[in-house]
Each structure stands twice: as C-alpha cells, then as structure tokens.
C-alpha cells in the first residue's frame, strides 16, 4: 500500500498522458473515493500526417489526447487540456538542441518533469482547485519520521522504476505529488486497466522521446539546426586523424555505429570536443571512468553534503547502480567510483541512492 501525501484529502489533478499507467493512476484514486480531475498537456505540434496515424505512440500527440479523453469519459471525471507548447519548446526542446550543439547528450524527460509537469502543470492544477498532482510514474513516496522530509523511493517494479527521472523534485513538489502505481508491477497495472474497463488497457508503451516520434534524433536536429552540422575530423587519443564526421550532433559517448572507420578493433566515441569540432574515437577500454563531476545538484532525502558520503550511483536510466563515494565540491559533487564505469556521458544525470531512497542527483559535467 502507498503512503498518502501530506494533506491528501482535497481535489487531485491527474496528469493523463493517454497511456495505461496514468489512466490506472486515475482509476485507482477514484476507487479510493478521491475527488479527481484529468489534465492532459499539449506540449508540441507534430505534422498533421504524423498525428493522423495510429502508429504514433508518443505520449502527448493527438492520439494521446483522444485516449486520455476517452478514459476520462469512462471514469466520468472532469477533463481539461493545458496548452504548454511554448513552455515545452523553451524548457525542453531548445535545451535538447543546445546540449547536442555543445557535444553533450541531454535527457529531455528529466527537463519535462522538472520544468513542465511539476512546475507549470502543478500551478495550473492549483488554479483548477487541485492542490495535489498525480502521475503514472513508477515511484513511491513516504515521510521520514525523524527529519520530516518527503522521501522519493524506487518503484516496486525494478524493470519500470522511474525514480531516476524524478530526482530534481523539491520537497514542496514531493509533498504535493502522488504516484498511485508506484507500488505495483506493470503486469498488475495492465490487469487493473482491464478490470476497470479502460479503453487503453492493451495500448502499447511509448518508448521514444515524445517530440521525436520516429526516434531519429539526427533527422530532428538537422531539420532544426542544419547549420550546426559542420564536417570535421575523427581522431584517436593521440590526436591523429582517422576519419571524418558530418557533424558532432550525430554522436554521443559510447556510440559505435556511424563512425565509418575500418579498424582491427571496434572503435567507440570516447569524447566530443565542440570547440574544435572533433570526435575522439578509441577502443572499449578507453570508455571507462572512475571519477566524474556533477553540477546543478538537487537533494532529496538529505539537505546536502557536509563531508564524504557513500552511495550507489546511476549515470544513465538503464545503468546498473555502482558503489561510489560522494565528495562535496564548490557548486557540485565529485563522484569517485569503486570501479570505473563505462560511457559516462556529459549532459546525462547522475542519481545518488541509499538503497531504495533517492538521496539526490545532478548533471554530469566531466
């Protein structure tokens, strides 16, 4: 059973993406006797041809709004659309493009949670009379009786846990958040959708970034900033030119495909230097790092570091946690791993855990 949020007795706005998880979240809250409303965010505008097909599984396209509205009708709840296209463009899409231009690999889902869902959407929910916001994230919340801090915990289903994407949420935001499916496994959520008679019970999951529905980042970036694709050299660790690239935006750390270099051993992207427009390639062993720096740190279970702290650290969503020592650093955190980790990528998030509890996290710098 999930622990209720502080003051969880008023109207709840459910962020309905049209997927099975947020739909079941709404149904579960209604089954608890909660007073709920549904809200779907309009975040971007795809070409009409893309929106017309049912094959588009993006979480916020025209099909998503149709499905979310159908679920709201089945549940008999008030339903609203919230237009955040300008906010999303500025906070998520423009940042996505800018980070790739800097030779980094951004995580737009993190930006969306931080600057759209639990920012403008939470405020919009308040104007609709709802002091709480529920989502379909696989994460759990509880209150630490000693400190009174709201603790963000991993979802019960290890294959679906999304606590990594929620580490930036503030204490105030966590106190106003509800994650009704966090204590369930995905198979249980599907079964509940069938039991509640929801029309999205068998809807496939969306895996791609919502504003890049075909998962072709290169095409999206070329359409956005064609002038940023400037050919340049691919070099080895010694600086010798071993190939050419059509633009650094095509690459991310750890990438093998697309280098187009014939070599006796597989080569991977081990660094990207936007200042010289250079991609550095090397063998797999050159991808491992024992130390990194994290900036823009957000703390959750603790208020900050006063000294070294042991934690388990994830450097990507699907990365296995690795034991590390966290050191306070002016304006950030230094992470020292017990064993070097592969493909540590600037722009991605490093999230710190103590067992199931999120201690905090930040953006990988170097």
Report how far Cα 41 is from the mean position of its chain's Cα atoms.
16
DSSP state of 249: G
Contact yes or no for 221/249 (Cβ under 8 A): yes
> What stretches of 46-166 adopt beta strand conformation (E)?
79-83, 132-134, 139-143, 150-154
Residue listed under structure tokens 């931080």: 114
- Alpha-carbon distances, residue 55 vs 65, 211, 215, 239 (angstroms): 14, 14, 13, 45
Whether 181 contacts 126, CB under 8 Å: no
- By C-alpha distance, which of 48, 49, 44, 132 is closest to 88? 44
Question: What tokens does 149 get?
Answer: 């801090």
Strand residue runs (E) in the chain: 12-15, 36-42, 79-83, 132-134, 139-143, 150-154, 177-178, 232-235, 241-245, 268-273, 278-282, 288-299, 309-314, 322-329, 332-342, 349-354, 357-364
Q: 210 catalytic, yes or no?
A: yes
CB 92 within 8 A of CB 112: yes
Phi, psi angle pair for 130, to nearest 5°: -105, 120
List residues bridging with 353 in a β-sheet. Answer: 312, 358
Q: Is 10 helix (H, G, I), strand (E, B) or coil?
A: coil
Distance CA 317, CA 167 (A): 12
How far is 331 from 90, CA to CA, in rounded Å?
A: 25
What is the spatial distance between Cα 139 and Cα 160, in angstroms, rounded to a whole number? 9
Q: What is the DSSP letter of 131?
A: S
Provide the annotated active-site residues.
Answer: 112, 210
């Amino acid at each position: 059973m999930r622990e209720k949020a502080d003051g969880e007795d008023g109207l709840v706005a459910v962020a309905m993406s049209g997927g099975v998880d947020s739909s079941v979240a709404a149904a579960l809250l209604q089954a608890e006797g909660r007073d709920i409303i549904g809200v779907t965010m309009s975040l971007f505008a795809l070409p009409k041809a893309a929106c017309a097909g049912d094959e588009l599984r993006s979480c916020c396209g025209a099909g998503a709004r149709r499905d979310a509205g159908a679920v709201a009708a089945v549940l008999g709840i008030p339903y609203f659309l919230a237009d955040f296209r300008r906010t999303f463009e500025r906070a998520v899409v423009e940042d996505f493009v800018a980070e790739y231009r800097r030779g980094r690999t951004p995580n737009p889902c993190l930006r969306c949670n931080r600057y759209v869902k639990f920012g403008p959407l939470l405020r919009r929910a308040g104007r609709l009379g709802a002091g709480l916001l529920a989502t379909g994230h696989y994460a759990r919340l509880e209150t630490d009786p000693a400190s009174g801090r709201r603790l963000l915990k991993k979802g019960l289903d290890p294959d679906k846990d999304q606590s990594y994407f929620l580490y930036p949420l503030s204490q105030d935001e966590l106190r106003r958040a509800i994650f009704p499916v966090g204590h369930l496994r995905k198979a249980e959520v599907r079964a509940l959708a069938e039991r509640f008679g929801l029309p999205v019970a068998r809807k496939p999951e969306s895996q791609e970034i919502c504003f890049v529905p075909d998962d072709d980042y290169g095409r999206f970036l070329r359409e956005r900033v064609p002038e940023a694709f400037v050919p340049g050299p691919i070099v080895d660790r010694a600086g010798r030119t071993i190939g050419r690239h059509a633009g650094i935006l095509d690459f991310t750390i750890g990438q093998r495909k697309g280098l187009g270099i014939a070599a006796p051993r597989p080569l991977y992207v081990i660094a990207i230097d936007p200042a010289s427009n250079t991609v550095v390639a090397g063998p797999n062993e050159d991808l491992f790092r024992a130390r990194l720096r994290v900036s823009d740190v957000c703390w959750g279970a603790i208020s900050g570091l006063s000294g070294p702290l042991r934690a388990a650290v994830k450097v990507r969503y699907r990365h296995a946690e690795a034991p590390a020592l966290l050191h306070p650093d002016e304006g950030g955190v230094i992470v020292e791993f017990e064993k070097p980790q592969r493909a540590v990528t600037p722009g991605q998030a490093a999230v710190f855990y103590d067992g199931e509890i999120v201690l905090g996290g930040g953006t990988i710098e170097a």
